[in-house]
Structure 1
């Protein structure tokens, strides 16, 4: 009689015993979708934003997870609106993501959050700024960072309280122009800036929506020059900024100061691409890495953790603010005891973190629309190759310099 081979049999029995345990472990984990533009023109911003979320999840897992359950991140690529919708649906169905985080750009966020709301899946927007993200009456959508109207407020306040004094001018005498790209982010920020400038009686002489072709940029620059613009508010994506500065150089004209808005103006890669002409450029954007300890007491610890994880310094403050926002969101999941939509909604609205209570320097308090009303951008300036906070005073690590360039 043939001997029975026991080893395969025992292995099979062991596998049968282990399978339910593995299934239970997998069932216990909370699956989180991470929807960012990992490809295309916004890939650098998407990857840097994801790194902040990833660090927050790793930190939470090291502390025992949320509601006693481990967290698992599942990536989804969203390079355009159609892909954002398709990927968020995949994350919610095939990948069984119970909560989704994203998304860096407003057009992507508006598309993805609509799909999430239809499925009653909670969605935490960590970076997109258009007010519309949280203005549609959705119950499942929360934004941890600032909205476009906050960009308008900080821009106008900085002109009045920091920029005009640095230039030795009266704020209402300064000739201010807006140049913006035509994406949802560009239009939202430009509109918020225009509304706030006009409400304060500041002198807005031009608002131009410009395409990126050289002829369009040259025509826009001619209008700005003819209008004698002194302060230019420029909202642009990364690929548009270098051509704009090149066009200014070719025209041998520039305003007294450029105040950029949008993520690209805060990226180290943008500054390296443009070189010395970027010195002195201002940016109204999320909290930079060079920021006052009293304003953002957790920023330095985040940077150290980032460097240990990636072997290099953060590429912009976007990883910092995505980390800070994710920490707030994960704490809400923990307090809710999981991802049930109604319990999580209540936990988010019960959040009450004072200013200075997150690594980004913001507090956290959400209105009924899901917007963190304590999140505001910061005015920073490129000085000696780094971007440093210059306003408000509590955030500032350097005085505002009243000129651009190195000459």
Structure 2
């Protein structure tokens, strides 16, 4: 009798094991499980949720179209990474309790940095779809891939725009421009500021002022007064949403007028910035991922994305972060489709073969991953400007819908 019971128990355990492994996508189930690690609550939730929505829409689209790899459905297993510590614990939970073999994320560079370390230690492939810090891929980890452009791409876009557009609009030579940089000093701001300054120096641009600040501060008057004293022609500001609004409002109160204000991703992109800053938003530039007032011929698939977003969430997209994550997740799904499984090594091998030409994706980017770093080298940041309450793409010309508006007065 004991032998019969033991045999039954052994069969039952083997059945449970097969179910668990199959849910991870090893070929024994009709479902692939993919971890999705984003800040879905807390201070970073606004753009964290917006980023996750892009991933969710890409998965729903694939599932509605019959799935991938012969009809398998994709199941997202969420992890709420409110900060770096939570990202580590959530990554461990996804890997060790949910048996996840590949994870996508994460919007925040500090979250991505911490979570990808956990993934690397466990041999799990981590796909970064939205955070920009160069250090994420500069570590040359085996199990990291990034579909979006890094901070260096943002810094170079700033410098190229100043060189090719601002100098002509202001009627000044590069060496005569006075430039200031103000940045939130968490994980995201310093890398973008450093990349900009590095490229600026290479071009002979004089960066007179560099000021970091706490993004949680409720008073940026000292930052603004220092900028006002420096009297720059160009201000590069790297901010989250609340500090971007505060910077705009207090600059108006303290009489800071800068001929060219260049935001960099984050807060200056969102419709919430326009709502919070009102008319003060008009004229402000922003280097960021693709937004929606853009040349649609250069971004095939964007119309379909916007329609799907409005149908599911009942509003226009709040930021280009959802689009960027949608595009990145589509790359992930295509790689899984070609591999037919979620084995990290096989996914990495297939990803390095994957290519897409610029102008063939909903963001307008191409795709080609660097073998050493896992960075997509064909991503690009674009220059946008708030014009009459709408964030319009103004540079480069291939994706622009309007001329940059800069007065030399």
TM-score for the superposition, normalised by structure 2: 0.90
Contact 2:298–2:360, Cα closer than 8 Å, also in 1: no
Name the counterpart of 1:232.
Answer: 235
Match of 1:401 among 395, 401, 405: 405
Name the counterpart of 1:184.
Answer: 187
Match of 1:57 among 49, 56, 59: 59
Give the stretch that moved more between structures: 201-210 or 103-112. Answer: 201-210
1:392 aligns with 2:396: yes
Shift of 1:23: 4.7
Name the counterpart of 2:73.
Answer: 70
Match of 2:82 among 65, 75, 79: 79
1:40 aligns with 2:54: no
Match of 2:158 among 115, 137, 155: 155
Aligned pairs for 1:11-26 within 5 A: 23=19, 26=23
1:144 aligns with 2:147: yes
Contact 1:162–1:391, Cα closer than 8 Å, also in 2: no
**Partner SS for 1:382:** strand
- Any idea what the Cα deviations from partners look like across 1:308-352, whole Å, max 9, x if unmatched? 222211111111110001111111111122111221111110011
Q: For the aligned residues, what is the CA RMSD?
A: 1.9
1:127 aligns with 2:130: yes
Name the counterpart of 1:167.
Answer: 170
Match of 1:255 among 258, 268, 282: 258
**Partner SS for 1:45:** helix
Shift of 1:169: 3.1
Contact 1:129–1:146, Cα closer than 8 Å, also in 2: yes
Contact 2:249–2:280, Cα closer than 8 Å, also in 1: no
Shift of 1:214: 5.5
Separation of aligned partners in 2, 1:50 and 1:65:
19
- Any idea what the Cα deviations from partners look like across 1:288-307, whole Å, max 9, x if unmatched? 11111232122222111211
Match of 2:334 among 323, 331, 334: 331
Contact 1:37–1:47, Cα closer than 8 Å, also in 2: yes
Contact 1:49–1:322, Cα closer than 8 Å, also in 2: yes
Aligned length, in residue pairs: 385
Contact 2:102–2:344, Cα closer than 8 Å, also in 1: no
**Partner SS for 1:294:** helix
Name the counterpart of 1:29.
Answer: 31
Give the stretch that moved more between structures: 341-350 or 102-111. Answer: 341-350
**Partner SS for 2:374:** coil
Contact 1:163–1:400, Cα closer than 8 Å, also in 2: no
TM-score for the superposition, normalised by structure 1: 0.91
Give the stretch that moved more between structures: 266-275 or 293-302. Answer: 293-302
Contact 2:101–2:124, Cα closer than 8 Å, also in 1: yes
1:114 aligns with 2:117: yes
Name the counterpart of 1:377.
Answer: 381
**Partner SS for 1:184:** coil
Q: Which runs of 5+ in 2 are unaligned?
A: 1-11, 24-28
Q: Which runs of 5+ in 1 are unaligned?
A: 1-15
Contact 1:166–1:400, Cα closer than 8 Å, also in 2: no
Separation of aligned partners in 2, 1:261 and 1:147:
12
Contact 2:238–2:266, Cα closer than 8 Å, also in 1: no
Shift of 1:385: 1.2
> Closer, same or farther in 2 for the Cα pair 1:229/1:120, shift >3 Å?
same
Contact 1:152–1:189, Cα closer than 8 Å, also in 2: yes
Contact 2:124–2:344, Cα closer than 8 Å, also in 1: yes
Name the counterpart of 1:280.
Answer: 283
Separation of aligned partners in 2, 1:254 and 1:87:
44
Match of 2:267 among 264, 268, 282: 264
Name the counterpart of 2:319.
Answer: 316
Name the counterpart of 2:197.
Answer: 194
Name the counterpart of 2:3.
Answer: none
Shift of 1:386: 1.4
- Any idea what the Cα deviations from partners look like across 1:66-96, whole Å, max 9, x if unmatched? 3222110111111111101011111112222
**Partner SS for 1:97:** coil
Shift of 1:142: 0.4
Give the stretch that moved more between structures: 314-323 or 66-75. Answer: 66-75
Separation of aligned partners in 2, 1:214 and 1:111:
28
Name the counterpart of 1:246.
Answer: 249
